[in-house]
Amino acid sequence: MVLSVADIFIFTDHATKELRMNIVFVCHGNICRSPMAEYIMKKLLDDRGIKGVTVTSRALHTDALGCGIYRPARMVLDAHGVEYGRRAAALLTQAEYDSADMVIVMDEENYRDAVRRFGGKKVSKLLSHAGIDADVADPWYTDDYEKAYSDIELGCLGLVAELCRS
């Protein structure tokens, strides 16, 4: 079933829950999509009063290790009122994978890389949580950070709805 943003808001509008969960968002370099997902998810959880969910983001490749969130990604987060902190891109480790309840990737390439390195039990694509079999648009190649934001928000809203139903 494919959910619309309106459907997802119905599930999540009045949630107040205490959960114990560790979610790691993952993309290629951890400077655009996965940190955007981290901070969008934190905002959605906070807005709904959902506590006890640890949310982080990591990279699958070493290209941008140590770099902060890419400026255009920060600009779109700012435009949507999503707060973020100073951070540095970091590689997903085996220990972080082992301690995560969910490892959520942005696209099919990330999915294959994560499954190959860590196994597939915990790995899912973000938009699958909104009932969509698609990749989160990669703004590194398209320069469309607004589309990436929209995809990420939809996937995170679906994920919040799942958490509220569990």
Active site residues: 27, 33, 138
Are 64 and 87 in contact, with CB atoms under 8 Å apart? no
**Who contacts 141 (Cβ-Cβ below 8 Å, separation ≥6)?**
none
Are 62 and 91 within 8 A, CB to CB?
yes
Residue from 112, 95, 103 nearest 55 by CA: 103
